[in-house]
Amino acid sequence: MFTSRINEYLKIAYVKILLVSATRKELHPVKKAIRASFPQTNGIEFYFLSVGIGLRNSAMVMTNNLSISVRYDLAINFGLAGSLSPQLNVGDVFFPTSFHAFQNGAIKSVNPINTSNRVSDGLPETWIRGGLFSSEKPIVSTEQKSSVVSASGALAVDMEAFALLESCRRADIPFISLKIISDQADSTAIWTFFRELNKNLAVLSVETMRLIRHILKQTESIYGRSG
């Protein structure tokens, strides 16, 4: 049921899309851009949520929202992430195709194949695909970084996506994610994160809007009426 809902979503003409980030700093530029680009939507409703930092907090806020709010047709997580691989540089766009986290001392991996593949068709080739690891605490050392890469094979790390995905799976809501690389997840991470923050938030807004337009374009009846 979960993996088939994206196909149902792409066929219907009235959708409710949840845009969810960890922080309000990530959320605000995207919210502003959506309201400017879709001032009067016909057949599309956008909802916005910031869940806070960390897996436990993200899971609690997201699960609570899904239990009391409207029935979403799609959840899009967007935000900043650290690089775990030389393949990813600060400012790169990353489209996760698998999600990983430690649970009860062991790595757990989820690969929402149908959802990710259905949406990723036609996305920019410059967007790097791969695994995203979600951590309860920041990864800011080479030792932590090596441990995560060894366990998960992930290319990037954030602090919320896995928890959001799990909440969506339980609610049978398709989930996708988009990240901008903010740092190298090492001893320079905090300094680099804040130095590049404004630039990366601007890129995040532009690329999230690109993703949204791409999704809507896959359903001509929706895209045509939203213009």
Nearest to 21 by CA among 136, 179, 191: 179
Cα 23 to Cα 6: distance, rounded to the nearest angstrom = 26
Pairing type for strands 175-183 and 74-83 reads parallel
Cα 169 to Cα 203: distance, rounded to the nearest angstrom = 28
Q: Is residue 71 part of a domain?
A: yes
Cα 41 to Cα 225: distance, rounded to the nearest angstrom = 8
Q: Is the pLDDT of residue 180 over 80?
A: yes
Nearest to 173 by CA among 62, 95, 83: 62
Number of domains in the chain: 1
Q: Is residue 135 part of a domain?
A: yes
Average pLDDT estimate for 45-53: 94
Q: Report the SS3 class of residue 83.
A: strand
Asked if 200 contacts 83 with a C-beta cutoff of 8 angstroms, the reply is no
What is the per-residue pLDDT for 119? 76
Q: Is residue 82 part of a domain?
A: yes
Q: Is residue 227 part of a domain?
A: no
Cα 200 to Cα 195: distance, rounded to the nearest angstrom = 10
Cα 167 to Cα 161: distance, rounded to the nearest angstrom = 10
The CATH number of the domain holding residue 18 is 3.40.50.1580
Q: Is residue 204 part of a domain?
A: yes
Range of the domain at 160: 5-222
Number of C-beta neighbours around residue 157 at 10 A: 28
Q: Is residue 118 part of a domain?
A: yes
Query: Which tens digit of pLDDT belongs to each residue from 160-174?
Result: 999 999 999 999 999
What is the per-residue pLDDT for 218? 74
Query: Which tens digit of pLDDT belongs to each residue from 66-80?
Result: 988 688 989 999 999
Q: Is residue 50 part of a domain?
A: yes
Q: Is residue 169 part of a domain?
A: yes
Number of C-beta neighbours around residue 70 at 10 A: 11
Query: Which tens digit of pLDDT belongs to each residue from 151-161?
Result: 999 999 999 99
With the C-alpha atoms ordered 216, 10, 19, 101, is the resulting torsion angle positive or negative? Answer: negative
